[in-house]
Amino acid sequence: MSLAYIKTDNNIPLADDHQSDVGVVSIEYHNIDQFLKHIEKRAFHMARVSTRSLEDAHDIVQESMYKLVQKYTDKDSSAWKPLFYRILNSKITDYYRRNAVKDRLFPWKKPDVEDANEYGDSILDQGIGRSSEEPDAMMLRQRRISKLASHIQALPRRQKQAFMLRTWEGLSTRETAKAMGCSEGSVKTHYSRAMIRLRSMLEDDYDD
């Protein structure tokens, strides 16, 4: 089974690990409010698949948006996207660290998490599912998206970040490197490993 059968809500196909940055389209924003309205839904779902918690994802996105407005409103609009995702990734990293400490101190307290099927449903709610599809085709597509969502959740954190920023948000390698606070070479490595791992898991699903 190929990753190519699903597109993001930007209508960008899930690229392979050799995809170039040619053709990455930058949107010009007139003000930061317009940018935040455009980014909010995808940022929420990125945080949601990373934390598997609606409440925590909402808090992380709100905190990230507030920090962007507080510190970077005067920056050129072309810088907002990588800056925002760098803040968001930092907040998600802090979330993992806090929860790692909580798990060590209070191992009997485990947070409620969402099922991957719910995340897959949310993707369809955003319009990735095609309204013209027959019910059987829609159901098959939904199952595939749910499986993909589950596999994305299982990726190591940095691979997950690279994959979602490149495919979900359509950031270039350079923008992704800025957002993740690492080199472009590291982005390519994380992204390539994520693609290899996802392909392997999807092929296993197909074989089953």
pLDDT tens readout for residues 3-53: 544 444 444 344 444 444 544 445 677 799 999 999 999 899 888 888 888
The pTM of the full predicted model, rounded to 2 decimals, is 0.63
Q: State in words which class domain 3-207 has.
A: mainly alpha
Identify the H or E element spanning 198.
helix 184-207
Q: Which of 9-23, 40-54, 93-107, 194-208 has the highest mean pLDDT?
A: 40-54
pLDDT value of residue 87? 95
Q: How far apart are CA 119 and CA 95, in angstroms?
A: 19
Q: How far apart are CA 154 and CA 52, in angstroms?
A: 11
